[in-house]
Amino acid sequence: MNKLSSLALAVCLATPVSLLAQGGLGGGGSLDDPAGRPDCISPTERALIAQLTAAWQASGQALPSYAGVAPYAFYPQAGNLYEDLWISNYVDLDGSSGILDWHCGSYTYDGHDASDSLIRSFGEQLLGVPVFAVDDGVVISTADGNPDMNTVWSGQPANFVLIDHGGGRTGYYWHLKNGSVAVSTGATVVAGQQLGLTASSGNSSYPHLHFGTYDVGSATEVFTGACNPGPSGWVDQEALVTTPFVWDFGFSRLDLASIDPPDAFPRTGQVAFADPSIYHWVLLPSLPAFSDWRVVYKRPDGTTAFDTGNFGFGNSTSFKFSWLWWGFDIPEMHTLAGEWSLELSINGTLLVDAPIDVLPVYDPLFNHAPEPISAELLPADPGINDVLRAVVTSDSVMDDLDYDMLTHDWTWSVDGSVVRSVTTGARSDMLPALSLGGYVTCDVTPGDGTDSGATVALEAAIQGPAFSTSGQALGGVGGAPEIVGVGSLVPASSVKLVLANAAPSSAAWLVLGAVAINAPFKGGVLGPDPSPPGFFVLQQTDADGLTRVDTTWPAGLSSGLSIWMQWWVQDASGPRGFTASETLHGVTP
């Protein structure tokens, strides 16, 4: 991306403030890459990559090449596309001096060999946006220690990770944050493992991840479409959005003429009677040529106080990426307190409907806590080979009514033990696959630097490779308990038998049997036969309704030996004072 001054951007726009007595469009414009921009990996770094790759191949450490490399299961960056991430450039498929992306558009530049996924500003960069390994592999090389808030292309060295993903495939992870690279040359990495943080190191002018895929030395476009037909390089390719959408928005009490993206924007949820004007700004990808805008301010009672009508931007060409700001002096906002609202429409479509508090006197201590969030764990029914993604699904613009940049706390636990706890400036996070299974929870908490929002708890039960469930669970008011078998049942290996979603602080019995009897019991079905050689293990659930039995699978057991397991929990909400899990069946390999 190219950072231009506000003065230069304003030249692109056709509606100066003077056209409206009460204000108007103040500035902004296209942030598109100019024709002839340099490659975001400099010639010096290209030569370095060639040397590193050749040395890696000669070292004997390179993973073997093979046909049929599997498609990627996720994009390797925290955040959600078209919410807090946006891909501005794809691989250039035009072999000449022209440009062509996979969907026959111009979202690329001449010679580009990767996907450039932007974050919204340096503000999010400072909060931290993780970058993850897209697949298993071995690290070919890394670089760190270089400046990471570059805004011009001057051939600067980048912080990066270069990974051999096997099958002749190499992954490029470029422009990382200074001091964030978390892996070293020769290290084995797994899909979903954090490599570093997003930034603007190297030949870069905007914080982003340059994610490239090279197959047997040639750049590969993993997105497929009309101009790159064939099977997608993604398990689930994200649908393309080419219509205007609000990537970020906020109000300001300050004139925005001096703001220059990717600088962090001033933000407020309130203005005072004494403020001479109210300003608002927007980051807006995919603005068509000859677009128009309209701004409406409404009083606290919902009636219209001010309506600009439609004005053209005067853009004779489309803007792939733009930022725009307006300033208005609304007379009634100097005398009428309450929650006002602004409506911003582009080309007749309402894109923003945002509240703003008008106060007699500005209150620097007042703060809106983040809005309640919704979230989900993906994939919906994970298995032992799936990287887990916790994703915030609620509104990405009206997530805080002071328009603050939000952090999210991500606390991942497996079988009751915390395995990852991070605070980031992104709307998703990842956990590598659990090859032996486990009961996974992820608590997600938004924060604005002053207050925290309500925590959303996500969970998933992933059965280990040697286990399967059958039979009927017996539920209570809180639903049915869950049993999770963790481990392979290889003789002398570790095994966990986890109980989750049970009544808190309650007695729980793990019933184990060599055969299944499926007999009526306490209003449910008792799966295992507890008579010898079967037995019981008494446990106590914790405050979250969780407990587990850790053991070592005995050595010397014959292959194909079966065991049936089931949890029964003392629970007054159960039909006869008990609830029970399904029956778990394990087989020694």
Which two three-digit tokens encode residue 421? 């706890």
Residue 1 in this model has a pLDDT that exceeds 90: no
Can you tell me the distance from the alpha carbon of 296 to that of 351, in angstroms, rounded to the nearest whole number? Answer: 12
What the block records as the tokens of 516 is 């299944």
CATH number of 6-32+244-359: 2.60.40.1930
How is residue 582 written in tokens? 């399904």
The DSSP call for residue 53 is H
pLDDT tens track for 25-68: 999 999 988 878 899 999 999 999 999 999 999 999 999 988 88
Q: Look at residue 414 in the predicted model and tell me its pLDDT.
A: 97
pLDDT single digits (tens) 114-126: 999 999 999 999 9
Mean pLDDT in residue range 318-336? 96
Q: What is the pLDDT of residue 21?
A: 65
Taking 50 as the threshold, does the pLDDT of residue 527 lie above it?
Answer: yes
Q: For the chain, where do the domains classified as CATH 2.60.40.1930 start and end?
A: 6-32+244-359
CA angle, 386 as apex, 384 and 390 as ends, to 5°? 120
The helix (H) or strand (E) run that includes residue 131 is: strand 130-132
d(CA 1, CA 319): 13
- Structure token digits, residue 371: 């809005």
- Check residue 20 and give its pLDDT: 59
Task: Decide: 221 and 91 in contact? Cβ < 8 Å.
Answer: yes
- CATH code, 375-461: 2.60.40.10
463-587 domain in CATH 3.40.50.2000?
no
225: enclosing H helix or E strand? none
How far is the C-alpha of 82 from the C-alpha of 85, rounded, in Å?
6
User: 255: burial class by Cβ within 10 Å (0-12, 13-18, 19+)?
Assistant: middle
- pLDDT score at 516: 95
Can you count the helices (H) and strands (E) in the chain?
A: 3, 38
Which tens digits make up the pLDDT trace of 251-308? 999 999 999 999 999 999 999 999 999 999 999 999 999 999 999 999 999 999 999 9
On whether the CB atoms of residues 297 and 336 are closer than 8 A, the answer is no
**59 φ/ψ angles, rounded to the nearest 5 degrees:** -75, -15
| Average of per-residue pLDDT across 521-533 | 95
What's the longest Cα–Cα distance across the chain?
91
**Section 415-430 average pLDDT:** 97
pLDDT digits (tens, 9 = 90+) for 499-521: 999 999 999 999 999 999 999 99
Between β-strands 319-328 and 278-287, what pairing exists: parallel, antiparallel or unpaired?
A: antiparallel
What does the pLDDT look like over 338-395, one tens digit per residue? 999 999 999 999 999 999 999 999 999 999 999 999 999 999 999 999 999 999 999 9
Strand pairing partners for 293? 311, 346
Tell me the Ramachandran region of residue 105: left when phi exceeds 0, alpha when psi lies from -120 to 50, beta otherwise.
beta
pTM: 0.94
Q: CATH 2.70.70.10 region(s) of the chain?
A: 43-220
At 229, phi and psi to the nearest 5?
-70, 165
Q: Which of 329, 325, 324 is nearest to 278 (CA)?
A: 329
Helix, strand, coil % in the chain, rounded to nearest 5: 5, 40, 55
Contact call for residues 284 and 324 (beta carbons, < 8 A): yes
Segments in 60-90 forming alpha helices (H):
none
CATH topology of domain 43-220: Glucose Permease (Domain IIA) (2.70.70)
Provide the strand spans (E) within 288-369.
292-298, 304-307, 311-312, 319-328, 338-346, 349-359
Residue 4 clears pLDDT 60, i.e. is over it: no
pLDDT at 124: 98
With bands split at pLDDT 50, 70 and 90, how would you rate the model's confidence at 557? confident
What region, left, alpha or beta, does residue 566 occupy, with left being phi > 0 and alpha being psi -120 to 50 degrees? beta
Structure tokens at 180: 């964030």
> Where are the domain boundaries for CATH 2.60.40.10 in the chain?
375-461, 463-587
CB 48 within 8 A of CB 174: no
